[in-house]
Amino acid sequence: MLKITLLDGYVDEPTCLGVPPYISPYPRYIAGAIWSFNKNIQITYVTIDQIRNNNKLLEDLAKSDIVIVIAGMSVPGRYLSGYPVSPNEITIILERVPNILKILTGPSARHGFGMSGGKKTRFVENVFDLIIKGDGETVLFDFLKNKQDINEVNPDKTRENAETIRDFAIKGSNIVTQHPNHPNYLIAEIETYRGCPRSIVGGCSFCSEPSKGLPDYRPIRDIIDEIQALYQNGVRHFRLGNQPCIFSYMAKDAGKTEFPRPNPEALEKLFKGIRTVAPELKTLHIDNANPGTIARYPTECKKIAKTIVNYHTPGDIAAMGVESTDPVVIKENNLKAQPDEIMSAIKLLNQVGSRRGDNGMPHLLPGLNFVFGLKGETKDTFKLNYEFLKNILDENLLLRRINLRQVIPIPGTKMYEMGTKITNKNKSEFKRFKRKIREEIQRPMLQKILPMGTILKQAYTEKHDGKLTFARQIGTYPLLVGIPGVFELEEFMDVKIVDYGYRSITAIPFPLDINKAQRETIEAIPGLGKKRTIRILANRPFRNKNQLRSALDDPEIIDDILEHITF
């Protein structure tokens, strides 16, 4: 029987994430297409990180008949664990398995491999026998039907419509059980539709989404059934992230207007249905939102935001593509919203979503994505963007995330012709701007969102860096938590915030047993420093408050310390 390996080199697109802990729809749909053709075909799913960490997996890969590589980063991201495969890396890996058929699919097949912001993408052609620029699952189904003859398939073929992937999505859901993060730390990225309504006016200059045409909505039932199948396969974390704007799902009049009227009833049905089939889910988050839509239809969007808050889990972010607040850049690049519209969308989301949820995070806050290196950008652009953000801070509005990135000129977009000319010209301005935003906006914003002493529930420990452990809650764009001390990895713990970085926080385990805590952790308790920590370590164990008080040089600080510890 045929043996196929799915090598997940990870995808990161404007409307889809597949870098761990996320698994994108790509491998799931492809597995579903293969098993729809023949359920006995043996599929091995392996991530690029598993290959990086275990050479023996290359020997297993060599025993496959076919390897299908899924890869492509078309927006630059920051990753904690898991990094998308590079063109050089995939070439070296595949050269070591010469005798199997090699297929490439995903954004890298369509647009080339993105390396980082401000750089053009790179195509890798020589190592692959078949490069699928169309839809992987559709082309691969044809390929299997045609007795695996690569000359008999059209690699550019795309799905007829969203309904045709229903069975693939359901049948392929079992592949998640092979993901190394399964089941506890795995988020399934869910597609609700693809294509952008703004494609009728050409779309934003840098974005590849308009090339997918007008929105093709997946039926509500199909999405719910897919989530049910994933849930039955152990997935407990979901993000409705694979669409340009969740508020525009099933919007009416797409094709007639670039901002179709949102459909609150459809969103209510969708979210309610998800909760019915996945009653014990632990995460239900969203991703992209178009501020132009929210500003134009405040009544409908308020209803939708309320629905989201009603059914989702807290810590959610509506990531809005702002790109720039400079009117010249907005015009030159056909961007979706003016500054006053962006502001009204921010206000609406704050009104509905800023309440704190039971995991310690506010329910639903806006995130803003900025893109630099666009046509028309000047020094004034940086100034205007700064003033816009400062205004948000001064008005006491909350932003959960500010994402500053440089454009990747993608073939087929208007920005491709422009290349990296403006990015290169404004390189040092961009660096200065980033620093300024970190110091003057992001840090104070974090302090507002998560006041000192806030308890964050269920942070998952992922990585050590010297005597520091990094953890994150599961969810959309999770906040990085640095925990002083070396803690067991791959475990959940509640933590209490004690300090702030620019885009991260420092926290200590909560509750913290002072008699067992590590030196670095005790030192991080507000009010204690090196010297007091040494006194505490020298006088442990303590049975009660009085014993601890007598070990301190200043007994007055005892109550502050007691807020963080137990005996």
Task: Yes or no: say if 179 and 24 are a contact pair by the CB < 8 Å rule.
Answer: no
Query: Which two three-digit tokens encode residue 19?
Result: 């870098």
Please count the other Cβ atoms lying within 10 Å of the Cβ belonging to residue 29: 27
For ligand SF4, the closer of residues 181 and 333 by Cβ is 333
CB of 23 to ligand SF4, least distance (A): 22
Residue the block writes with tokens 């052609």 = 125
298-311 and 264-277 helices, crossing angle to 10°: 10
DSSP state for residue 180 in the 8-state scheme: T
For ligand SF4, the closer of residues 423 and 469 by Cβ is 423
Sign of the dihedral defined by the CA atoms of residues 546, 550, 555, 558, in that order:
negative
CB of 243 to ligand SF4, least distance (A): 9
Total residues interacting with ligand SF4, rule: CB under 6 A: 11
Kindly write out the interface string for residues 188-217 of this chain, putting x where it contacts ligand SF4 by CB under 6 A and - elsewhere: --------x-x----xx--x-xx-------
Kindly write out the interface string for residues 252-291 of this chain, putting x where it contacts ligand SF4 by CB under 6 A and - elsewhere: --------------------------------------x-
For ligand SF4, the closer of residues 371 and 481 by Cβ is 371
> Is position 107 an interface residue for ligand SF4 (rule: CB under 6 A)?
no
Q: Is 120 exposed, middle or buried (0-12, 13-18, 19+ CB in 10 A)?
A: middle
For ligand SF4, the closer of residues 209 and 316 by Cβ is 209
For ligand SF4, the closer of residues 243 and 350 by Cβ is 243
Closest to 342 (Cα-Cα) out of 382, 299, 397, 305:
397
> Is position 244 an interface residue for ligand SF4 (rule: CB under 6 A)?
yes
CB of 407 to ligand SF4, least distance (A): 11
CB of 495 to ligand SF4, least distance (A): 35
Nearest-angstrom CA–CA distance, 426 and 171: 48
CA distances to 382, 392, 424, 426 from 431, in Å: 11, 22, 11, 9
Query: Which two three-digit tokens encode residue 485?
Result: 């001390």
For ligand SF4, the closer of residues 324 and 420 by Cβ is 324
Angle at the Cα of 392 (from 335 to 313), degrees rounded to 5?
A: 85
For ligand SF4, the closer of residues 28 and 198 by Cβ is 198
> Is position 236 an interface residue for ligand SF4 (rule: CB under 6 A)?
no
CB of 259 to ligand SF4, least distance (A): 9
379-394 and 427-437 helices, crossing angle to 10°: 10
> Is position 130 an interface residue for ligand SF4 (rule: CB under 6 A)?
no
CB of 165 to ligand SF4, least distance (A): 20
Q: Which residues contact 530 (CB under 8 A, 6 or more apart)?
A: 523
Residue 476, classed as helix, strand or coil, is: coil
Query: Which two three-digit tokens encode residue 277?
Result: 């089939």
CB of 335 to ligand SF4, least distance (A): 7
For ligand SF4, the closer of residues 131 and 196 by Cβ is 196
Residues 314-343 that bind ligand SF4 (CB under 6 A): 321, 336
Backbone torsions φ then ψ of 313, nearest 5 degrees: -115, 150
CB of 340 to ligand SF4, least distance (A): 18
> Is position 241 an interface residue for ligand SF4 (rule: CB under 6 A)?
no
CB of 204 to ligand SF4, least distance (A): 3
For ligand SF4, the closer of residues 207 and 507 by Cβ is 207
* Cis amide bond preceding 541, omega within 30: yes
- Nearest-10 Cα torsion for 462, 463, 469, 475: -30
CB of 203 to ligand SF4, least distance (A): 3
Query: Which two three-digit tokens encode residue 436?
Result: 């300024």
Identity of the amino acid at 390: K
> Is position 248 an interface residue for ligand SF4 (rule: CB under 6 A)?
no
Kindly write out the interface string for residues 336-375 of this chain, putting x where it contacts ligand SF4 by CB under 6 A and - elsewhere: x---------------------------------------
For ligand SF4, the closer of residues 196 and 536 by Cβ is 196
CB of 374 to ligand SF4, least distance (A): 11
The stretches of 149-238 forming alpha helices (DSSP H) are 166-171, 220-232
For ligand SF4, the closer of residues 16 and 481 by Cβ is 16
CA distances to 455, 483, 524 from 467, in Å: 22, 9, 12
CB of 421 to ligand SF4, least distance (A): 21
Task: Yes or no: say if 326 and 382 are a contact pair by the CB < 8 Å rule.
Answer: no
Footprint of ligand SF4 (CB under 6 A): 196, 198, 203-204, 207, 209-210, 244, 290, 321, 336
